[in-house]
A and B are shown apart, each in its own frame.
Chain A
Amino acid sequence: MMYKVGMADAKVAGSGDSLRTLGLGSCVGVALYDHRLKIGGLLHVMLPASGGKTELPAKYVDTGIPYVINLMKDAGAQTRHMIAKLAGGAQMFALTTGSDIVRVGPRNVEAVRRWLDEMGIPIVATDVGGSVGRTVELFTDTGAFSIRTAQFGERFL
């Protein structure tokens, strides 16, 4: 069974199910996985910082990372057994002058790295940056993280 994760959304799955989110641009897909229990979580964050807002915790990195970790814990996983894989954070539009909106992808990735580091969760694989849209899927039976792009087909992390 495949579960869809929307924008500014996070879900947890196990039992061999998978989690998919479509068309990541500057957004980042954060996949968490606990090998021991074969439980995975997928977060689709849009912006680096919530600025104190509490509604839509999965929209922002600073609230989204703790949010998805808690979902994993609710499912029985422990933080010290979790690993992370990242995809997305692209800059879809090439630009000479550095507008903040256009450069949000790299800032998202930076924030995700910092927060995962803070939580003590190692990042074992990434496919981030560039200027390409990505669809990702986390398979909970193996922890494999599929990255699909319009131009280059599919690869696994």
Chain B
Amino acid sequence: MRGSKVDQSDWRNGVHLDRNAADMLREVGNIGAAHAATSLSEMLRQRVTMEVPRVEFIPFDDVTEILGGPEQVVACVYLRMQGEVTGSIFFIQTVSAAKQLMALLELSKDALAPFSEIEMSALGEIGNIMAASYLGSLTDLTHLTMFPSVPLVAVDMAQAVLNVGLQQDNPIGNYALIIHNSIHHHMAREDAHLFLLPDPGTQEALVRALGIEGLA
């Protein structure tokens, strides 16, 4: 099903991401996310688990489905991926999931109150640490430099915040390549999500670098 989704957009848009490349990116996502999970686990002093990442071309209008639809209010940390491979990174979860995370860090007493300044900056810092460890492991793997920008935090409709990662001029039309990791910590009822969206055109560099490393 996952493979067929990639193949389908191959057929539709002439995108050259074959199953092999998708497998490589999945492996990259796996390793990156494992490092990110480890740092989150250290922060929370809790076991954090991670699903095998999905690598998919998703139509813009469907990107938010995983979060509960375009209008679902989410807490979102956005970082630009900078260096030899550019793109967008989102650490994103529902408001209630983010509040649980804050409670674990003993930063939040009120799950219903709006996010305080401290909570917003703590969210940003968590996103920052996860993105940095994710990209650090990708750099080790590919020898391509990748590092995150300062984290930006917003709490609003999923579609509105994710838009910022979909604005790049895109040769493949209204599709985004997304490496998606679901993150689960012990106390949470809902998963948090780490999205990596390589800019169109730079994903080839990533795949090529991985090919040279003999992965896949």
Show the binding face of A for B, using Cβ within 8 Å.
Answer: 6-8, 22-27, 46-47, 51, 53, 55-56, 59, 90, 92-95, 99, 101-102, 104, 131-135, 150-151
Chain A: minimal CB distance from B200 (Å): 13
A132–B156 CB distance below 8 A: yes
Chain B residue at minimum C-beta to C-beta distance from A49? B169
A152 to B12, CA, bound (A): 40
Main secondary structure on B side of the interface with A: mixed
Docked complex Cα distance between A90 and B159 (Å): 12
Given A101-B80, A104-B167; A150-B173 close (CB under 8 Å):
no
Chain B contacts with A in 125-174, Cβ cutoff 8 A: 149, 152-154, 156-164, 166-167, 169, 173-174
- From A7, A27, A132, contact of B174 by CB (8 A): A7
Report the interface size class on chain B: 20 to 34
Q: Judge whether B80 and A99 touch: CB under 8 Å.
A: yes
Given known contacts A7-B61, A8-B60, A23 and B160 CB-to-CB distance under 8 angstroms = yes
Q: Are B70 and A93 touching (Cβ within 8 A)?
A: no
B154 near A93: Cβ-Cβ < 8 Å: yes
Instruction: Say yes or no: A133 contacts B161, CB within 8 Å.
Output: yes
CA distance A91 to B163 in the complex (A): 11
- Known interface pairs A23-B158, A25-B163, A102-B164; A47-B169 also in contact (CB < 8 Å): yes
Task: Known pairs A23-B163, A133-B161; list 11 more (Cβ under 8 Å).
Answer: A8-B60, A23-B157, A25-B157, A56-B174, A90-B160, A94-B152, A132-B156, A133-B156, A133-B157, A150-B156, A151-B156
The answer, yes or no, to whether B84 is at the interface (CB within 8 Å) is no
Give 24 pairs: A residue, B residue, CB < 8 Å, sorted on A: A7-B163, A7-B174, A22-B69, A23-B160, A23-B163, A24-B160, A24-B163, A25-B157, A25-B162, A26-B164, A26-B167, A46-B167, A53-B169, A55-B173, A59-B174, A90-B160, A92-B164, A93-B161, A94-B152, A101-B164, A102-B164, A132-B160, A133-B161, A134-B157
Minimum distance in angstroms from B198 CB to a CB of chain A: 15
Q: Let me know if B78 is at the binding interface, CB within 8 A.
A: yes
Residue ID in chain A nearest B160 by CB atoms: A133
Which of A51, A102, A133, A134 is most buried by chain B, counting CB atoms within 10 A of its CB?
A: A133
CB of B42 closer than 8 Å to a CB of A: no
Q: Which residues of B contact A94 (CB under 8 A)?
A: 152, 154
Residues from chain B with Cβ under 8 Å of A102 in the complex = 152, 164
Question: Quick check: B166 and A46 within 8 Å, CB to CB?
Answer: yes
Residues on the B chain within 8 Å of A135, using CB: 70-71, 157
Across the interface, do B159 and A133 meet the contact criterion of CB distance under 8 Å? Answer: yes
Q: Is B64 an interface residue (CB 8 A)?
A: yes
Contacts of A56 in B (CB 8 A): 173-174
> In the docked arrangement, what's the CA distance between A59 and B173, Å?
10
User: Whole-angstrom distance between the alpha carbons of A59 and B159 in the complex?
Assistant: 16
The 5 closest A-B pairs by CB, nearest first: A23-B159, A133-B160, A25-B160, A133-B157, A93-B152
A99 CA to B71 CA in the complex, in Å?
26
Collect the chain A residues with CB atoms within 8 Å of residue B174's CB.
6-8, 56, 59
A25 touches B152 (CB 8 A): no
Complex CA–CA separation, A107 to B154 (angstroms): 20
- CB neighbours (8 Å) of B159 from chain A are 7, 22-25, 133
Contact of A7 among B78, B166, B169 (CB under 8 A): B166
Q: How far is the CA of A152 from the CA of B164 in the complex (A)?
A: 22
Q: What 0/1 pattern do residues 163 to 207 of B give for CB contact below 8 A with A?
A: 110110100011000000000000000000000000000000000
